[in-house]
Structure 1
Amino acid sequence: MTTTQHESNDESSEQDSGRKTKDKTIGQVLSHLEESFPDLSASKIRFLEDRGLVFPQRTNTGYRKYSSEDIERLRIVLTLQRDQYLPLKVIKAKVDELERQGFPESGSEAGEPGGEVPAVKARPQQPRRYTMRELSRHTSVDLPMLRELINYGLIQEQSDGTFDEYAAQVTNLCSQLTAHGLQPRHLRPFRAAADREVALVGQTIAPMASRRDEESQEKASRTARELSALCTNLHATLVADLVEKSW
């Protein structure tokens, strides 16, 4: 019999200060959260425990028991992972702060599936998409210029013919640059530089990204974002330095 089966079959009638406990076994927690998190497993819960994100109590025989507060904390951790792809350290800091404020009830008891995560803005389930005409109206950039930006690789049309929010941001920036007399063809080096920087980031995180375990994948994603920010800051600093020394 596996550890999970042992824990799931542990006597629910164990006493706590002479009273019958309302805590759940790990198997009961899985059943409780299955609807909201169908891919959740006992090993995933134990992994989060090892990382200090949940703190189940142990029975006299060593089995894990999860209180309603433990389940609510776990639900929030899983929601932040699923919806915002945050690093575990960031999630831990957020959940610790929420716990200090006091978890609100999200159903008949704390930890009820479907409750809202307090003070956390979830990633939109449907990211904003624009048709070319919508992008033109949104950015006040005419269609001929949008076609130039596409031709020079500065923005990319998705397979369904729409453009994402990054394309809208790039279009706005290119529009501001063209107001100073630059043309889309002059901006191609920015795309080439970005491609080279992304390739460098990819080479750096390749050893981590090649490992399939969750911790390595999370570390690779976090490192990629950190390297991206550093590359952006380095580029901006070099340009500012050269401009300052030249004019």
Structure 2
Amino acid sequence: MAAATSPARASGGSSLLSIGQVLARLSPEFPDLSPSKLRFLEERNLVTPSRTESGYRKFSPADLERLRLVLSMQRDYYLPLKVIRSYLDDLDAGREPVLPGGATVIAPSMLSGDRRLTRAELIKESGANAMLLSDAISASLIVAGDHFGEDALAVLRALVELQRSGIEPRHLRGFRAAAERELGLIESALIPVTRRKDASSRAKALELAREIAGQLEVVRSNLIRSALSKL
């Protein structure tokens, strides 16, 4: 995606947004978003806002949706930026890219903020029953609470399907321990970055954590596929 720095574009109307306005639009969905994170994404060529003659960044509606897509792919799929950039390049070229593992990305216009569901709503939307949800909480697969987010809904839907194959939440207790071990690996790798307390370093640490998590997911998925091929 070529950089667009034309002052004419930057002064093209009230539809263009400042960094502050972009943060106001996206922060409800992505609370950890910051000016330094936006600049970091620009440095990685994931978004190219235009510039005014004074050098201020201005974001178009298309830039805003592109940012929403990038941030959603990070949050929902834990993908490293180079994978996201490759995906966007294919998208810009009119191709139909597929993410590692065959995941399908929801178009930005279809994305909504992280909903908060009551226990009853969670059970109804997932097709589960109260016992399955309780078992999932007991197995530390879902965090107990009065309200639940989209992640809990996705996990419970998966558990409904797994239960049809005879796999119960109690069989997955090791998943929490495995996740904590991976978190330990990520935290150890971040030590050189997290020692620096400036905002830019925090943004880089968060991005590095997501990249590492994405690479660990690639290794895990390939190990599973390799094992399945021997069945």
Do they superpose with TM above 0.5?
Answer: yes
* Aligned counterpart, 1:150: 137
Percent identical residues: 25
1:243 Cα deviation (Å)?
Answer: 2.0
Q: Secondary structure at the match of 1:157?
A: coil
Aligned mate of 1:88, from 33, 39, 45: 39
Who is 2:90 aligned against? none
Q: Cα–Cα, structure 1 residues 230 and 80, in superposed 2: closer, same or farther, change >3 Å?
A: farther
How far apart in 2 are the matches of 1:130 and 1:243?
36
Residue 176 (structure 1) aligned with residue 199 (structure 2): no
> Does the C-alpha gap of structure 1 residues 91 and 81 become closer, same or farther in structure 2, counting only changes over 3 Å?
farther
**2:198 corresponds to:** 213
One-letter amino acid of the structure 1 residue matched with residue 121 of structure 2: E
Amino acid at match of 1:127: D
Compute the displacement of 1:178 (Å). Answer: 1.2
Between the aligned partners of 2:162 and 2:208, the Cα distance in structure 1 is 31
Give the AA of the match of 2:216: C
Equivalent of 2:121 in 134, 139, 151: 134
Contact 1:129 1:162 survives alignment (8 Å): yes
Higher helix share: 2
Residues 68, 196 of structure 1: alpha-carbon distance in 2 compared, 3 angstrom cutoff: same
Cα deviation, residue 125, structure 1: 9.4
Superposition deviation, residue 91 in structure 1: 3.2
Q: Does 2:171 align with 1:189?
A: no
The reply on whether 1:241 has 2:185 as its aligned counterpart is: no
**2:117 partner SS:** coil
1:69 is matched with which residue?
10
Q: Which entry has the higher C-alpha Rg, 1 or 2?
A: 1
Normalised by the length of structure 1, the TM-score is 0.57
Question: 1:120 is paired with a residue of what secondary structure?
Answer: helix
Structure 2 gap ranges (5+)? 73-110
How far 1:141 moved relative to its partner? 0.4
- Residue identity matched to 2:228: V
Distance 1:215 1:140, change over 3 A: same
In structure 2, relative to structure 1, the CA distance for the partners of 1:168 and 1:117 (3 Å cut) is: same
Check whether the contact 2:47–2:63 (CA below 8 A) recurs between aligned residues: no
The structure showing larger relative contact order (alpha-carbon pairs under 8 Å, at least 6 residues apart) is 2
| Moved segments of 4+, more than 6 Å | none
Aligned residues: 170
Q: Which amino acid aligns with 2:132?
A: M
Q: Which residue identity is paired with 2:41?
A: V
2:153 paired with 1:202:
no
**Structure 1: gaps of 5 or more residues:** 1-52, 56-65, 104-110
**How many angstroms apart in 1 are the aligned matches of 2:189 and 2:177?**
19
Q: Secondary structure at the match of 2:221?
A: helix
- d(CA) in 1 for partners of 2:46 and 2:169? 42
Q: After superposition, where does 1:2-21 map in structure 2 within 5 Å?
A: none
Distance 1:238 1:81 in 2: 39
Equivalent residues of 1:130, 1:162 under 8 A apart: yes
Distance between the aligned counterparts of 1:225 and 1:202, measured in 2?
Answer: 11
